[in-house]
């Protein structure tokens, strides 16, 4: 499935139904009074996050969404029916921006809670029928209101993956293999760069029934923050993660500067958004199955000499994964409460 993370749409709420201009016409009441009913309310446009929706692909195919109009009022004091609301289901993690005529944008919704409705366009109220305009001096009012118009808005939808952990690395660092090894995810795996064109999600479960979501972000390259490679399009997906697991493959390690790959991506995060660079990281060297024992010992010594805390694993063979997963759980639990408290204060 192609991952579509942005779309621009137009939404219109329904117009209110017109009030009715009507008078009683019965056999023994030749001059009946007004009996025109009110028009019904137009439908609202409602946005709602749904876990079963994974991408914004459908919103690329269809750009205009219109709620129904309210029914007009009728004689004999009959009111028009209200129109049903138009509910648009979006992926969890979608941010909704209203686009003004001058191109400026305002955040109107951040859909992080499944099933929570957000009204973005209110339907127009129905017009009043002539029964409302009868008075002592006007027993037969020939006045009824038209329904009120609905609203129209241009919206830009931006999907940001909601995950606890962001899995980052240069192309072909072995992130997909790692994700498949530690979770039930089955991402596409191949021995060439940019295999991952879609952020894959893996879920870890522990014995206490807790779960932890890891997002495998597509391979980044130097210059990603300027839009090179696949990086710029997906860097924003790490904004909501608690911390990052940063993978570097042993086949990317250079003799003169073995941990250059870590610094390259740190610099890209800093250029894109300094808040991302400040996120807690677990640094991992993957593919140690490609090294002999002496080379691995030398690499560990260089990490210690550089003052780097690094896990050495083979996602393919399983070496070192148990200790790494334990650290991921420990780090997540340590950061879970502070982030939840911060999100609660933002909401208030």
pLDDT digits (tens, 9 = 90+) for 88-130: 999 888 999 999 999 999 999 999 899 999 999 999 999 999 9
Q: Which fold has domain 6-159?
A: Spo0b-associated Gtp-binding Protein; Chain: A, (2.70.210)
Q: What is the pLDDT of residue 192?
A: 36
Closest by alpha carbon to 64, among 14, 13, 9, 15?
A: 9
Q: What is the pLDDT of residue 213?
A: 79
- Of 81-90, 108-117, 141-150, 174-183, give the lowest mean pLDDT range: 174-183
pLDDT band at 147 (very low <50, low <70, confident <90, very high): very high
CA angle 97/160/122 to nearest 5° reads: 30
Top pLDDT among 199 and 172 is at 172
The mean per-residue pLDDT over the stretch 333-341 comes to 62
Q: What is the pLDDT of residue 345?
A: 44
One DSSP character per residue, 158-219 reads: EE----SEEEEESTTSSHHHHHHHHSS------SSTT---S-EEEEEE-TTS-EEEEEEPPP
- Report percent pLDDT > 70 for the chain: 81
Domain ranges of the chain: 6-159, 165-347
Please, are residues 211 and 164 in contact by the beta-carbon 8 Å criterion? no
pLDDT band at 42 (very low <50, low <70, confident <90, very high): very high
Top pLDDT among 338 and 210 is at 210
pLDDT tens per residue across span 304-313: 998 999 999 9
Q: What is the pLDDT of residue 24?
A: 85
- Of 150-154, 158-162, 207-211, 224-228, give the lowest mean pLDDT range: 224-228
Tokens coding 208: 């206490």
pLDDT band at 41 (very low <50, low <70, confident <90, very high): very high
- What is the greatest pairwise CA distance in the chain? 110
Q: What is the pLDDT of residue 236?
A: 61
Which CATH code, of 3.40.50.300, 3.80.10.10, 3.20.10.10, 2.60.40.10, is assigned to 165-347?
Answer: 3.40.50.300
Query: Which residue in the block uniquely carries the two structure tokens 């127009």?
Result: 124
pLDDT tens per residue across span 227-280: 444 444 555 666 678 899 999 988 888 888 888 888 888 887 787 778 778 889
Q: Cα separation of 348 and 346, whole Å?
A: 5
Determine the length of the chain: 348
């Amino acid at each position: 499935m192609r991952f579509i993370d942005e779309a621009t749409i137009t939404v219109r709420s329904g117009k209110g139904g017109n009030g009715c201009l009507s008078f009683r016409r019965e056999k023994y009441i030749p001059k009946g009074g007004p009996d025109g009913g009110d028009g019904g309310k137009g439908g609202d446009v409602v946005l709602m996050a749904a876990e079963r929706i994974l991408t914004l692909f459908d919103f690329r195919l269809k750009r205009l969404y219109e709620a129904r109009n309210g029914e007009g009022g009728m004689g004999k004091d009959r009111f028009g029916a209200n129109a049903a609301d138009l509910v648009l289901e979006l992926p969890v993690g979608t941010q909704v921006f209203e686009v003004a005529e001058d191109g400026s944008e305002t955040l109107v919704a951040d859909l992080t809670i499944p099933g929570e409705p957000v009204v973005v366009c209110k339907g127009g109220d129905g017009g009043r029928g002539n029964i409302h305009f009868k008075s002592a001096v006007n027993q037969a009012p020939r006045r009824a209101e038209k329904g009120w118009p609905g609203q129209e808005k241009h919206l830009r939808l931006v999907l940001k993956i909601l995950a606890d952990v962001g899995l980052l690395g240069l192309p072909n660092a072995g992130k997909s293999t790692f994700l498949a090894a530690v979770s039930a995810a089955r991402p596409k795996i191949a021995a060439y760069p940019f295999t991952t064109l879609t952020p894959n999600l893996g879920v870890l479960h522990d014995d206490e029934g807790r779960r932890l979501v890891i997002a495998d972000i597509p391979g980044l390259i130097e210059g990603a923050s300027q839009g090179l490679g696949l990086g710029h399009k997906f860097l924003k997906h790490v904004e909501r993660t608690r911390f990052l697991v940063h993978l570097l493959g042993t086949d990317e390690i250079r003799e003169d500067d073995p941990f250059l790959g870590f610094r390259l991506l740190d610099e890209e995060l800093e250029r894109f958004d300094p808040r991302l660079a400040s996120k807690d990281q677990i640094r991992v060297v993957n593919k140690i199955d490609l090294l002999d024992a002496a080379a691995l010992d030398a690499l560990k010594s260089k990490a210690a000499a550089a003052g780097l805390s690094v896990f050495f694993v083979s996602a393919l063979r399983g070496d070192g994964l148990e200790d790494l997963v334990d650290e991921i759980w420990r780090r997540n639990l340590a950061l879970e409460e502070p982030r939840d408290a911060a999100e609660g204060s933002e909401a208030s």
